[in-house]
């Protein structure tokens, strides 16, 4: 019986004309395109990631000998208040910066989408920050915060301005927010502009005939219809801000004290400067998981309120 | 068949490209000449080392030395070590970082090399205390030493009738006199956390118990017990500095002192070249930050540059030849002169007039090493100290140091 039931498919396959099987085959060119990329990606991306996960279970200092320590690194992380403080700073910074970037970018995009004069020039101007390197801009902002603003504050007699906010542990994070928002808004504007172009103009005409004002049009037409762009902007901004590194390096180097140490900064400092490669690799693995979870949750929540025509 | 052949060809091609890429980054020889990778951490000394290398290459035309200097050299070196890529010859700062790498067995053992006997035993001892792979090994050759004290502007001191202080009380009195006369007594550059460390080290050498770190490692003392006075004095000194001390960086400090605007600047001899770039004619003096009595005062000195060779290098004979060349008396002396350093060879003396002022401390052996070299790098000593100088919470500073130390000790 068993032998008999196993036979029929084979015979069917054998009877099938050869031509059909050939046609089903994917042309080799596709493999030729995918394989080199796959190999490069695997060698330069996947292998190092796996290596990192592996090292997070050791006490490797980055050089010399090492032993397996199991989950010790992860356990020690939970008790490390320096790491805790860096998570707090990073999330506070990322949430504030994400909200600011999206509010600003949406406003600018609406303005640039309208039929204003010098529209193309203005669009180019607003895109400029995205082209400049954060490190370079960071040093300019550092000078602004450290020298120009205090000088201005002093000459105007405003006490609150006369000291550098970067020298104040309570306020330094705001300096990082200003730089981050300034730099990231440009890219968000581009995405919103693309979104605005997908909305057909007759919708607005119809709404205007029905007597909807500008605000009502924005609330009921524009915003719902660019929701997909809003989602992607929120997710990308938050993810990018959670990995903030060069902003901090350029402005404060984690200081004053350790008040603006982002998670990436702690990973870099502890791992490469502090000789705790394995420990900070564990931190990096854990943080990777945190970012993935946050992004997926965010995507799910925001997707729910998306609509399409 | 076609598919399989294509796949194989593509895979082969990719691997060839990868291999070629690897070969390009690691290819060390050109036309019979051996190329040495010389990793050097000191941006101020790039031109000086270029001249030294030119001299060596004239003598050994078969060797080419490629000087490799990057900003933030310590981090750059560690990222290379993770890839098992140790430079052939290295010039590194003789600090805690060097000690940790030496303990891990990254460097060559010079113990049997006659060149070791030419080095001043006192300087060698300071370096050996940082750490070696095993007892009896010598993992680096001290090339230049430094003096870490208080630089002062002689003209301003003379103008306001201030004498060089020999006790802590005199130092504070001198600062108050200068301040009353409208002169900024001290310039601090605490936007950069590390610039608190030279002062911290100088004060700690005279106020903290000498065996503190041995006892700390044995779990028999705490920062709260041993470092309260150091912390108090450190803050007392910085409060006499200029108001914007937390918004200024190292470069700003060198400029302010170089232009003769401030009376004192708590930095080491490594700062002399950049200061002289700004104020070539400035009349600079130096004294150790004093203890309560002149007899108890000790000068803090460390190995500014140590020369070493990678333990696993394939080009060992050439690397050792270059290392020995660097340690020749005329090379050491020329470097020390150009970089305002203290030469490290037996019987040699600094030529810099500023450094000759602290020669008595060296001669009498009243020298202490940098205490922060005893602190593992995973403990964020500099930022935590910067934080303390901002908020002035001594108890919290001591508590944080104790907690960080304990955490790192537990992880090791």
Per-residue HEC secondary structure of chain A comes to CHHHHHHHHHHHHHHCCHHHHHHHCCCHHHHHHHHHHHHHHHHHHHHHHHHHHHHCCECCCCCCCCCECCCHHHHHHHCCHHHHHHHHHHHHHHHHHHHHHHHHHHHHHHHHHCCCCCHHHHHHHHHHHHHCCHHHHHHHHHHHHHHHHHHHHHHHCCHHHCCCHHHCCCCHHHHHHHHHHHHHHHHHHHHHHHHHCCCCHHHHHHHHHCCCCHHHHHHHHHHHHCHHHHHHHHHHHHHHHHCCCHHHHHHCCCCCCCCCCCHHHHHHHHHHHCCCHHHHHHHHHHHHHHHHHHHHHHHHHHHCCCCCC
Quick check: is A52 in a domain?
no
Q: Among B10-24, B237-251, B262-276, name the one with the lowest average pLDDT.
A: B10-24
By three-state DSSP, how is residue B113 classified? coil
Confidence of residue B1 (pLDDT cuts 50, 70, 90): very low
Q: Can you say how many angstroms the Cα of residue A89 is from the centroid of all Cα atoms in its chain?
A: 16
User: Is the domain of B42 the same as that of B177?
Assistant: no
**pLDDT higher than 70, residue A46:** yes
Rounded mean pLDDT, A210-236: 91
Nearest to A63 among B10, B104, B377 (CB): B104
Range of the domain at B234: 150-300+375-411
Nearest to A275 among B2, B100, B248 (CB): B100
CA distance B134 to chain A (A): 13
Quick check: is B4 in a domain?
no
- Under 8 Å between Cβ of B259 and B329: no
**pLDDT higher than 90, residue A156:** no
- Distance of alpha carbon A54 from alpha carbon A281, whole angstroms: 9
CA distance A288 to chain B (A): 20
**pLDDT higher than 80, residue A12:** no
By three-state DSSP, how is residue B383 classified? helix
Q: Can you say how many angstroms the Cα of residue B326 is from the centroid of all Cα atoms in its chain?
A: 18
Is A146 in contact with B14 (Cβ distance < 8 A)?
Answer: no
Cβ within 8 Å of A, B 94-153: 97, 100-101, 103-106
- Distance of alpha carbon B285 from alpha carbon B269, whole angstroms: 11
Task: Express each pLDDT in A249-300 by its tens digit.
Answer: 999 888 788 899 999 999 998 888 888 889 999 999 999 999 999 999 999 9
**pLDDT higher than 50, residue A143:** yes
Task: Express each pLDDT in B204-221 by its tens digit.
Answer: 999 999 899 999 999 999
User: Is the domain of B122 the same as that of B257?
Assistant: no
User: Is the domain of B173 the same as that of B209?
Assistant: yes
Rounded mean pLDDT, B176-200: 94
pLDDT of residue A23: 60
Cα–Cα distances in angstroms (integers) from residue B237 to residues B175, B232, B233, B367, in the given order: 9, 9, 6, 22
> In chain B, what residues touch A262 (CB-CB under 8 Å)?
none
**pLDDT higher than 60, residue B358:** yes
User: Is the domain of B281 the same as that of B327?
Assistant: no
Is A169 in contact with B13 (Cβ distance < 8 A)?
Answer: no
CATH of the domain at A217: 1.10.3720.10
Quick check: is A134 in a domain?
yes
State which residue of chain B sits closest to A162, comparing Cα positions.
Answer: B244
CA distance B284 to chain A (A): 28
Hey, is the C-beta of A52 within 8 angstroms of any chain B C-beta? no
The rounded mean pLDDT for chain B is: 89
- Under 8 Å between Cβ of A220 and A207: yes
User: Is the domain of B109 the same as that of B198?
Assistant: no
Tokens 């303990």 -> residue: B103
Hey, is the C-beta of B312 within 8 angstroms of any chain A C-beta? no
**pLDDT higher than 60, residue A1:** no
User: Is the domain of B230 the same as that of B194?
Assistant: yes
User: Is the domain of B296 the same as that of B306?
Assistant: no
Q: Among B118-127, B174-183, B282-291, name the one with the lowest average pLDDT.
A: B118-127
Is A65 in contact with B104 (Cβ distance < 8 A)?
Answer: yes
Is B2 in contact with A28 (Cβ distance < 8 A)?
Answer: yes
> In chain A, what residues touch B11 (CB-CB under 8 Å)?
35, 39
Range of the domain at A167: 72-305
Quick check: is A164 in a domain?
yes
Confidence of residue A164 (pLDDT cuts 50, 70, 90): confident
Hey, is the C-beta of B384 within 8 angstroms of any chain A C-beta? yes
State the Cα angle at A262 between A258 and A268, rounded to 5°.
Answer: 95
Counted domains in chain B: 2
Nearest to B377 among A43, A258, A275 (CB): A275
Is B13 in contact with A36 (Cβ distance < 8 A)?
Answer: yes
CA distance A32 to chain B (A): 6
Confidence of residue B40 (pLDDT cuts 50, 70, 90): very high
CA distance A87 to chain B (A): 17
**pLDDT higher than 90, residue B147:** yes
Nearest to B7 among A31, A81, A166 (CB): A31
User: Is the domain of B397 the same as that of B254?
Assistant: yes
pLDDT of residue B23: 43
SS3 helix, strand, coil % of chain B, rounded to 5? 50, 15, 35
Quick check: is B3 in a domain?
no
Q: Among A89-93, A224-228, B25-29, name the one with the lowest average pLDDT.
A: B25-29
Chain A and chain B share a number of CB contacts under 8 A equal to: 128
Quick check: is A249 in a domain?
yes
Task: Express each pLDDT in B57-89 by its tens digit.
Answer: 999 999 999 999 888 888 888 888 888 889 999
pLDDT of residue B19: 47
CA distance B210 to chain A (A): 25
**pLDDT higher than 90, residue B262:** yes
Confidence of residue A226 (pLDDT cuts 50, 70, 90): very high
User: Is the domain of B117 the same as that of B98?
Assistant: yes
**Reported ipTM exceeds the 0.85 cut:** no
Compute the half-sphere exposure of residue B312: CA atoms within 13 Å on the CB side of its CA.
Answer: 9
Is A270 in contact with B105 (Cβ distance < 8 A)?
Answer: no
pLDDT of residue A279: 92
Quick check: is A65 in a domain?
no
pLDDT of residue B31: 62
Quick check: is B15 in a domain?
yes
**pLDDT higher than 70, residue B281:** yes
> In chain B, what residues touch A147 (CB-CB under 8 Å)?
247
Quick check: is A49 in a domain?
no
Counted domains in chain A: 1
pLDDT of residue B365: 84
> In chain B, what residues touch A25 (CB-CB under 8 Å)?
3
User: Is the domain of B99 the same as that of B240?
Assistant: no
- Distance of alpha carbon B250 from alpha carbon A20, whole angstroms: 76
Confidence of residue A7 (pLDDT cuts 50, 70, 90): very low
Hey, is the C-beta of B170 within 8 angstroms of any chain A C-beta? no
Tokens 């960086």 -> residue: B249
Instruction: Give the mutation candidate from A32, A167, A252 for the B interface (greatest B CB count, under 10 A).
Output: A167
Confidence of residue B377 (pLDDT cuts 50, 70, 90): confident
Cβ within 8 Å of B, A 258-297: 258-259, 261, 268-270, 272-277, 279
**pLDDT higher than 60, residue A97:** yes
**pLDDT higher than 70, residue A15:** no
CATH of the domain at B61: 3.40.190.10
Quick check: is A94 in a domain?
yes
- Distance of alpha carbon B193 from alpha carbon B257, whole angstroms: 19
Task: Express each pLDDT in B6-28 by its tens digit.
Answer: 445 545 544 444 444 444 444 44
Quick check: is B307 in a domain?
yes
Is A65 in contact with B376 (Cβ distance < 8 A)?
Answer: no
Nearest to B74 among A261, A268, A273 (CB): A273
User: Is the domain of B188 the same as that of B306?
Assistant: no
State which residue of chain B sits closest to A252, comparing Cα positions.
Answer: B191
As a dihedral over the C-alpha atoms of residue B364, residue B369, residue B371, residue B376, rounded to 10 degrees, the angle is -160
Quick check: is A5 in a domain?
no
Sign of CA dihedral B301, B304, B310, B316: negative
- Distance of alpha carbon B309 from alpha carbon B318, whole angstroms: 10
Quick check: is B16 in a domain?
yes
């Amino acid at each position: 019986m068993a032998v008999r039931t196993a036979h029929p498919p084979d015979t069917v396959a054998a009877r099938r004309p050869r031509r059909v099987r050939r046609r089903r085959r994917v042309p080799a060119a596709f493999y030729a395109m995918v394989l080199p990329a796959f190999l490069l990606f695997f060698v330069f991306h996947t292998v190092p990631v796996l290596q990192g996960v592996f090292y997070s279970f050791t006490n490797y200092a980055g050089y010399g000998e090492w032993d397996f320590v199991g989950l010790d690194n992860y356990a020690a992380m939970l008790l490390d208040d320096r790491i805790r403080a860096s998570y707090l700073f990073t999330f506070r910074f990322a949430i504030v910066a994400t909200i600011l970037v999206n509010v600003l970018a949406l406003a600018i995009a609406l303005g640039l989408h309208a039929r204003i004069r010098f529209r193309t020039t203005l669009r180019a101007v607003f895109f400029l920050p995205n082209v400049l390197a954060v490190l370079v801009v960071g040093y300019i902002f550092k000078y602004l915060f450290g020298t120009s603003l205090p000088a201005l504050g002093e000459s105007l007699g405003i006490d609150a301005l006369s000291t550098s906010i970067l020298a104040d542990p309570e306020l330094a994070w705001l300096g990082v927010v200003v730089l981050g928002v300034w730099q990231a808004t440009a890219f968000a504007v581009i995405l919103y502009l693309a979104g605005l172009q997908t909305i057909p103009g007759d919708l607005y005409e119809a709404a205007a005939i029905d007597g909807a004002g500008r605000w009502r049009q924005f609330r009921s037409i524009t915003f719902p219809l660019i929701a997909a762009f809003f989602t992607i902007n929120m997710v990308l901004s938050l993810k990018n801000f959670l990995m903030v590194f060069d902003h901090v390096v350029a402005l404060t180097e984690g200081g004053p004290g350790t008040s603006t140490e982002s998670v990436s900064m702690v990973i870099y400092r502890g791992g490469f400067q502090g000789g705790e490669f394995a420990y900070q690799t564990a931190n990096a693995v854990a943080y990777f998981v945190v970012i993935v979870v946050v992004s997926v949750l965010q995507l799910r929540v925001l997707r729910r309120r998306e609509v399409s025509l | 068949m076609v598919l399989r052949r294509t796949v194989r060809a593509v895979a082969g091609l990719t691997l060839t490209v990868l291999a070629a890429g690897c070969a390009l980054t690691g290819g060390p020889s050109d036309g019979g000449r051996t190329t040495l990778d010389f990793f050097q951490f000191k941006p101020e000394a790039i031109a000086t080392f270029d001249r030294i290398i030119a001299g060596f290459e004239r003598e050994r035309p078969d060797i080419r030395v490629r000087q490799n200097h990057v900003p933030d050299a310590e981090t750059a070196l560690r990222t290379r070590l993770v890839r098992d890529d140790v430079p052939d010859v290295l010039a590194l700062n003789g600090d805690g970082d060097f000690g940790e790498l030496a303990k891990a067995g990254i460097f060559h053992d010079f113990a049997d090399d006659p060149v070791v006997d030419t080095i001043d035993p006192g300087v060698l001892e300071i370096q050996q205390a940082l750490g070696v792979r095993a007892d009896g090994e010598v993992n680096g050759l001290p090339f230049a030493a430094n003096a870490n004290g208080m630089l002062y502007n002689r003209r301003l001191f003379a103008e306001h009738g201030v004498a060089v202080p020999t006790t802590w009380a005199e130092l504070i009195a001198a600062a108050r006199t200068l301040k009353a006369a409208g002169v900024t007594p001290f310039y601090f550059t605490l936007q950069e956390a590390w610039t608190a460390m030279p002062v911290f080290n100088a004060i700690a050498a005279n106020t903290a118990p000498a065996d503190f770190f041995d006892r700390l490692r044995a779990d028999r003392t705490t920062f709260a017990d041993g470092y309260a006075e150091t912390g108090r004095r450190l803050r007392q000194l910085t409060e006499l500095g200029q108001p914007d001390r937390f918004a200024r960086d190292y470069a700003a400090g060198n400029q302010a002192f170089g232009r003769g605007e401030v009376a004192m600047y708590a930095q080491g001899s490594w700062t002399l070249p950049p200061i002289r770039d700004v104020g070539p004619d400035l009349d600079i003096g130096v004294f150790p930050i004093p203890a309560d009595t002149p007899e108890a005062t000790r000068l803090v000195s460390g190995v500014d540059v140590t020369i070493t060779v990678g333990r696993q290098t394939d080009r060992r004979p050439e690397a050792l030849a270059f290392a020995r060349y660097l340690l020749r008396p005329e090379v050491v002396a020329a470097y020390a002169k150009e970089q305002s350093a203290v030469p490290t060879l037996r019987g040699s003396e600094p030529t810099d007039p500023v450094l000759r002022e602290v020669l008595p401390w060296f001669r009498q052996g009243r020298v202490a090493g940098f205490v922060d070299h005893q602190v593992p790098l995973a403990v964020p000593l500099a930022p935590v100290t910067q934080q303390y100088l901002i908020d002035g919470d001594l108890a919290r500073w001591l508590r944080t140091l104790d907690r960080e130390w304990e955490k790192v000790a537990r992880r090791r």
